[in-house]
Amino acid sequence: MDASPRVTLLLGSAPDVMRCASWPKHAFAGIVAINNAWRVRPDWDILVHAGDFPSERMPQPRPTQRIFSAAHYVPAQNSFGGFVYAGGTMSMTAAYWTVHSRRPDVIAVLGCDMIYDHTGDTHFYGTGRADPLRDDVTLQSLEAKSARLLIHALRRGTLCVNLSNLPRSRLVFPKLSFEEVRDLSAARLVAMKAELDAGIDVKAVDAAETMEREFGYFYEHGMYWNHLDEIDGADLARIDRLWLAAVEGLVTPPLEECEAAE
């Protein structure tokens, strides 16, 4: 019998992340929490936090739990082309780190839809900073950044799926329920990856990666914000449109128009 796919649960801080509090741990090969999401359930395995994450909000980890920050995720991000192209927000950073360091068969994301236009709490713990919506040249189109991640993860054998049941998301990943992920067979996973691969516009991917190399917005230290005068937002907008075009046939409903300015 084929082994069940290794699924890593990746938790953000949107209010609906609390849906996972009762999900059995054995359904996942590991649980990776981003920033404050370690508070969602006590049995997390990995915490990946931003460099400016307040020390007073840090957990006291159990012996089996590990904590990683910039010294660990910057090299991982660099292996995928760096922060400027991947997008400088922790949802993307933690996902790329997970692909690079954990190499799961599936990353199942919850609480990372990055939708902030509703009333009420923005995060499960109340009102927090909507980090992905800050004025940042690398985050002109969150949809494009998630499309890039989806494609890079597939290349390394990892399928990204979204466990959200919200009507909208900035992620372009396939949506699955917890039950579908829990019961995912090896054969079904192979079929899903093949379907995605077949639907990706390879020419658009090649064009996007050619532009990334030509523009050369790569900073090994990761602190791209110290080089903003060197980065042309119009260049990144052109790349974003190509990543969106690469997955256009996969996304239902159709992608919203890329927010990046000309």
For tokens 């260049």, the residue is: 235
Q: Are 12 and 95 in contact (CB under 8 A)?
A: no
Residue type, 262: E
Give 87's pLDDT tier (boundaries 50, 70, 90). Answer: very high
Q: Is the pLDDT of residue 77 over 60?
A: yes
pLDDT at res. 51: 82
pLDDT at res. 149: 98
pLDDT digits over 233-244, tens only? 999 999 999 999
pLDDT at res. 46: 97
pLDDT at res. 27: 96
Q: Is the pLDDT of residue 258 over 50?
A: no
Q: Is the pLDDT of residue 63 over 80?
A: yes
**Domain extent listing, the chain:** 7-250
pLDDT at res. 119: 58
**Closest C-alpha among 213, 209, 196 to residue 248:** 196
Rg of the chain on CA atoms, in Å: 18
pLDDT at res. 53: 86
pLDDT at res. 116: 64
pLDDT digits over 170-209, tens only? 999 999 999 999 999 999 999 999 999 999 999 999 999 9
pLDDT at res. 118: 62
The stretch 150-174 carries a mean pLDDT of 95
What residues contact 113, with CB distance under 8 A and at least 6 apart?
14, 16, 162, 164, 166, 168, 169, 170, 171
Beta-strand (E) ranges in the chain?
Answer: 7-11, 30-34, 46-48, 66-68, 106-110, 159-162
Residue 169, CB half-sphere, CA atoms under 13 Å: how many? 26
